[in-house]
Chains A and B, each alone.
Chain A
Amino acid sequence: MHKLSVSQLVDGLRNGDFSSVELTQCFVNRMQKFNDLNAFITELGERAILQATNADKLIKEKKHRPLTGIPIAHKDIFCMYGVKTSCGSKMLDNFYAPYDATVVEKLDQAGCVTIGRTNMDEFAMGSSNESSYYGPVKNPWNTDCVPGGSSGGSAAAVAARIAPLATGTDTGGSIRQPAALCGVTGLKPTYGRVSRYGLIAYASSLDQGGPFGKSAEDCAYMLQAMAGFDEKDSTSLDKAVPDYTQLLNSTLKGKVIGVPEEYFSEGLSAEVKSVIEGAIKWYEQQGCEIKNISLPNTNLAIPAYYVIAPAECSSNLSRLDGVRYGYRCEDPKDLRDLYDRSRSEAFGDEVKRRIMIGTYALSAGYYDAYYLKAQQIRRLISEDFKKAFEHVDVILGPTTPEPAFKIGEKTADPVTMYLSDIYTISINLAGLPAMSVPCGFSDSLPVGMQLIGNYFEEDNLLNFAHQYQMDTDWHKKTPEGFE
């Protein structure tokens, strides 16, 4: 059952081939069996079986919703009523959210059964899952390697077939990069497409929730349930949600694919490069026009991101002060001591680093030079894409410069770590939708290609990815030991 696609699972449940309880039990068993991966912070097996029992009842009564009875895993960043919502941090290790995030609520309403809460980099800050308070997640393709981050637990869970679907969030690549490193399909929607309400904010102007699945088609089903305007999120857009499965089978003939030269320059591993070129060739064979384009400000994306995201996070994380919820230090002497020690003791190094960078960037006398300048760069980057999309339907390139790296390999050098998001960050700065699709291997580790679309053209991206997956089986490959 764990190998089936979402549409096969939906059919199987409705035809009575298996029940949701059986299906859920299968995944819960795998979750327990593979707990060495450390993909989960909280397992919700018992709760899931109760949910599945109810799902079976609804199916029997023909009251099912689109995803009734389908298991899912939620990144531990989405608040879930009565469930520990730690965001990968000691700070929220004792936090049981008193409300549901809109994403959780919508997937619940669509009928999903939640099997657990996936591990992640602390407060979504990281590219390797090593900054989690709960320890690193292991990559199912090679357990010495990282799964990527920050949504590493979700990507690893889908790759190891522990969950057919999982939620992630993407601020600078946190869905696409782990999807690429774990060989699964992941989509970051247009900023404003999916509600951020209940998503614990890292960098509010960049954060966006999205789906992980085994395929583009699976992601389409899941995005259908997640997307839409939410009056509780002022930055969500009041725009009709299309049927994401509708365009899946459209022909690609005559479509124009832009290949940015900046994504193929130094830093890109030769093997990854040749894998991506293979994918480009495939599209060419389908009758797509391949166009070389330039996104000249790409090299400014990382510096701009590492001003804007820390600036916002320094403010977003201020509420974690030990006063009302979360970690509080022992015996504070006074208010100042309460703040200082609670935050010093509960935040990890990467979080502290970004809070400090952000605080500095917003300080009087530095604001213009850093924050304002970064915002100007952000506009330039958006302009680059705007110009490119005047001539192309999608942009294609690698998701990451290299496949999964070893656990511990980059922890000593944050800047090297930051470079693993070099191809994904500018998409967040521009607010565009993008996805990562498995397209080959390098050294037995998966490689992902990145498809970038114009605003609100998720359906177009899914079409490009689905057509590729109809003709290739990279997305069907399962790591050894997890078949």
Chain B
Amino acid sequence: MQWETVIGLEIHVQLATNSKIFSGASTAYGAEPNTQACAVDLGLPGVLPVLNKEAVRMAVMFGLAVDAKVAERSVFARKNYFYPDSPKGYQISQFELPIVEHGTLEIVLGDGERKTIGITRAHLEEDAGKSLHEEFSDSTGIDLNRCGTPLIEIVSEPDMRSAEEAVAYMKKIHSIVRYLGISDGNMQEGSFRCDANVSMRPKGQEEFGTRTETKNLNSFRFVERAIHYEIDRQIDVLENGREIVQETRLYDANKDETRSMRSKEEANDYRYFPDPDLLPVVIEPSFIEELRKQLPELPTEKITRFKQEYDLSDYDAENLVMNKETAKYFEEVVKNSNAKAKLAANWVLGDLSAVLNQDDIEINNCPVSAGMLAGLLDRIEDNTISSKIAKEIFQAMWSGEGDVDAIIEAKGLKQITDSSEIEALVEQVINDNPGQLEQYKSGKDKVFGFFVGQVMKLSKGKANPQQVNDLLKDKMK
């Protein structure tokens, strides 16, 4: 049978507020356990939550960025369950009336195909603390530092049909929250994580199959792998005539598999009800309009602009824009250089990205500044150096040997453009290789490349390739 995959994602994004959503404690990551948990975070008797307005502002910004409806009135509700990292015995979340509803997001797939994914809702809630199982031998530690960190949970429609689409959607959301500056998006630190709902149905069938929910996927790669695993597992179950059990599953990255956590029957009845300690969140239309004006240029708009302004391909524009900092770097290079934007794009997405990845460095901390790269491109553009030499210089810049002109000077890498000098080299190569010359003259055009190579070698790569070509053609006529 032909199966169709149906995927919906729930993405949890930690908001980059300084203090927690309902208390004044700091949200900074990595402090000693329980040093950033105040009376409210500890759930002491008698304490009350007070909403952090900045978290509301950030949630509204997100809503506007995905063309969603921002609710003029939303309500916090208590989600009741017992767990040691949830000190009140309930999580303050939003249930019936979330702050953001009915958004959309366009994703671009590898083949250039575009697809719109629906966003059902995004609601504000508080993060839980952490249970530390490994540090203690016969007990569990609790760290409540993370407790009360503001989150938005973004729930998609079941609109995705492959792991590739799911990852593209997740990357786009990641890109948007970073562009908005509402989250650091740091996946290792858990600022951005995802639950994947996956089900299968026979191709052509309208009705959805039974789904499973795989929890806490904290990298794009894990999402992709977990979905692939689920697809294979579910098809296997179905083709063997069995049924999918609606359940929550956990992805084990070490074993690259998902396994059952709890079934629907074991699921909690969360007994949601409006939190009587908090008033409904009322958002004035004027506040929404104010924020709309403050929205930064978002990825989709930036891609369009890059294509128009810099004459870039879809592929280049998409990839440059994905990361806000990369786009910024690119534009700075273009601004400071006379070279064509396409050349800048090639360098940023090519050599630069490669070394950044290889050394695991964020572009903000790149040892080669945008100004330095612009200088390098200018030297290519004005023929001072060849592309090949440029790569060598780039490596030197990366190692901190200075800017392009200093390196050219120090290493004597300046391109030879003096035609008499090149002519001498060309003549030497022709004289040294009479056999090859014979072949060329008898019609073996391919040998021409050999001569170019020899001249370049002799010039240590510094000869202007175009001039070498022209002169060789002329001399070997």
Using Cβ atoms and an 8 Å threshold, which residues of chain B touch A231? 50
Question: Could you tell me the distance between the alpha carbons of A9 and B50 in the complex, rounded to whole angstroms?
Answer: 39
A294 in the interface, Cβ–Cβ < 8 Å?
A: no
Q: Which residues of B contact A (CB under 8 A)?
A: 39, 42-51, 78, 80, 82, 84, 87-90, 140, 142, 269, 271-273, 276-279
Q: Are B46 and A364 in contact (CB under 8 A)?
A: no
In the complex with contacts A198-B46, A359-B271, A371-B273, A324-B279 CB distance below 8 A: no
Q: How far, in Å, is A124 (CB) from chain B's closest CB?
A: 12
Q: Are A79 and B45 in contact (CB under 8 A)?
A: yes
Question: Could you tell me the distance between the alpha carbons of A87 and B142 in the complex, rounded to whole angstroms?
Answer: 26
Using Cβ atoms and an 8 Å threshold, which residues of chain B touch A371? 273
Taking CB atoms and an 8 Å cut-off, the chain A residues in 213-254 that contact chain B are 231-235
Question: Could you tell me the distance between the alpha carbons of A325 and B277 in the complex, rounded to whole angstroms?
Answer: 22
Question: Could you tell me the distance between the alpha carbons of A99 and B80 in the complex, rounded to whole angstroms?
Answer: 26
Q: Which one, B39, B88, B273, B278, contacts A318 given CB within 8 A? A: B88
- Which 6 pairs from chain A and chain B are nearest by CB? A318-B89, A362-B271, A205-B276, A204-B276, A198-B46, A319-B43
Q: Which one, B46, B51, B80, contacts A97 given CB within 8 A? A: B46
List 21 A-B residue pairs with CB atoms under 8 Å apart, sorted by A's residue number.
A79-B44, A79-B46, A85-B46, A92-B45, A95-B45, A101-B46, A196-B48, A203-B276, A234-B278, A235-B278, A312-B273, A312-B276, A314-B271, A315-B78, A315-B89, A315-B273, A318-B89, A319-B45, A319-B87, A324-B87, A367-B272
Q: Are A87 and B89 in contact (CB under 8 A)?
A: no
Q: Are A367 and B45 in contact (CB under 8 A)?
A: no
A201 in the interface, Cβ–Cβ < 8 Å?
A: yes
B24 to A, closest residue via Cβ: A232
Question: Could you tell me the distance between the alpha carbons of A117 and B416 in the complex, rounded to whole angstroms?
Answer: 94
Q: Are B49 and A97 in contact (CB under 8 A)?
A: no
Q: Mark A68-111, 1 if CB is under 8 A from B, else 0.
A: 00000000001100000101000010010111010000000000
Q: Are B44 and A318 in contact (CB under 8 A)?
A: no
Number of residue pairs A-B, CB distance < 8 angstroms: 101
In the complex with contacts A311-B273, A362-B273, A232-B88 CB distance below 8 A: no
Question: Could you tell me the distance between the alpha carbons of A200 and B48 in the complex, rounded to whole angstroms?
Answer: 10
How many A residues, CB 8 Å from partner? 44
Q: Are A232 and B271 in contact (CB under 8 A)?
A: no
In the complex with contacts A311-B273, A362-B271, A321-B82 CB distance below 8 A: yes
Q: Which one, A79, A95, A232, A367, contacts B273 given CB within 8 A? A: A367
Using Cβ atoms and an 8 Å threshold, which residues of chain B touch A470? none
Q: How far, in Å, is B109 (CB) from chain A's closest CB?
A: 39
Using Cβ atoms and an 8 Å threshold, which residues of chain B touch A367? 271-273
Q: Are B46 and A323 in contact (CB under 8 A)?
A: no
Q: Which one, B45, B89, B278, contacts A85 given CB within 8 A? A: B45
Using Cβ atoms and an 8 Å threshold, which residues of chain A touch B87? 319, 323-324
A335 in the interface, Cβ–Cβ < 8 Å?
A: yes
In the complex with contacts A200-B45, A364-B269, A318-B277 CB distance below 8 A: no
Q: Are B48 and A232 in contact (CB under 8 A)?
A: yes
Q: How far, in Å, is A244 (CB) from chain B's closest CB?
A: 25
Q: Are A235 and B82 in contact (CB under 8 A)?
A: no
In the complex with contacts A323-B84, A362-B273, A99-B45 CB distance below 8 A: no
A326 to B, closest residue via Cβ: B45
A8 in the interface, Cβ–Cβ < 8 Å?
A: no
Q: Are B46 and A199 in contact (CB under 8 A)?
A: yes
Q: Are A99 and B39 in contact (CB under 8 A)?
A: yes
A299 in the interface, Cβ–Cβ < 8 Å?
A: no
Question: Could you tell me the distance between the alpha carbons of A367 and B273 in the complex, rounded to whole angstroms?
Answer: 9
Question: Could you tell me the distance between the alpha carbons of A435 and B42 in the complex, rounded to whole angstroms?
Answer: 36
A40 in the interface, Cβ–Cβ < 8 Å?
A: no
Q: Which one, A234, A323, A324, contacts B50 given CB within 8 A? A: A234
A405 in the interface, Cβ–Cβ < 8 Å?
A: no
Q: How far, in Å, is A190 (CB) from chain B's closest CB?
A: 16
A423 in the interface, Cβ–Cβ < 8 Å?
A: no
B42 to A, closest residue via Cβ: A324
A363 in the interface, Cβ–Cβ < 8 Å?
A: yes
Q: How far, in Å, is B233 (CB) from chain A's closest CB?
A: 29
Q: Mark A297-335, 1 if CB is under 8 A from B, else 0.
A: 000000000000001101101111101110000000001
Q: How far, in Å, is B270 (CB) from chain A's closest CB?
A: 8
Question: Could you tell me the distance between the alpha carbons of A85 and B84 in the complex, rounded to whole angstroms?
Answer: 23
Q: How far, in Å, is B460 (CB) from chain A's closest CB?
A: 71
Using Cβ atoms and an 8 Å threshold, which residues of chain A touch B42? 324
Q: Are B45 and A362 in contact (CB under 8 A)?
A: no
Q: How far, in Å, is A238 (CB) from chain B's closest CB?
A: 11
Using Cβ atoms and an 8 Å threshold, which residues of chain A touch B43? 319, 324
Q: Which one, B45, B89, B269, contacts A363 given CB within 8 A? A: B269
Question: Could you tell me the distance between the alpha carbons of A375 and B46 in the complex, rounded to whole angstroms?
Answer: 24
Using Cβ atoms and an 8 Å threshold, which residues of chain B touch A87? 45
Using Cβ atoms and an 8 Å threshold, which residues of chain B touch A321? 82, 84, 89
Question: Could you tell me the distance between the alpha carbons of A363 and B272 in the complex, rounded to whole angstroms?
Answer: 8
Question: Could you tell me the distance between the alpha carbons of A319 and B269 in the complex, rounded to whole angstroms?
Answer: 17
Q: Which one, A232, A235, A363, contacts B279 given CB within 8 A? A: A235
A141 in the interface, Cβ–Cβ < 8 Å?
A: no
Using Cβ atoms and an 8 Å threshold, which residues of chain A touch B142? 323-324
A418 in the interface, Cβ–Cβ < 8 Å?
A: no
B275 to A, closest residue via Cβ: A204
In the complex with contacts A362-B271, A362-B273, A318-B46 CB distance below 8 A: no
A197 in the interface, Cβ–Cβ < 8 Å?
A: yes
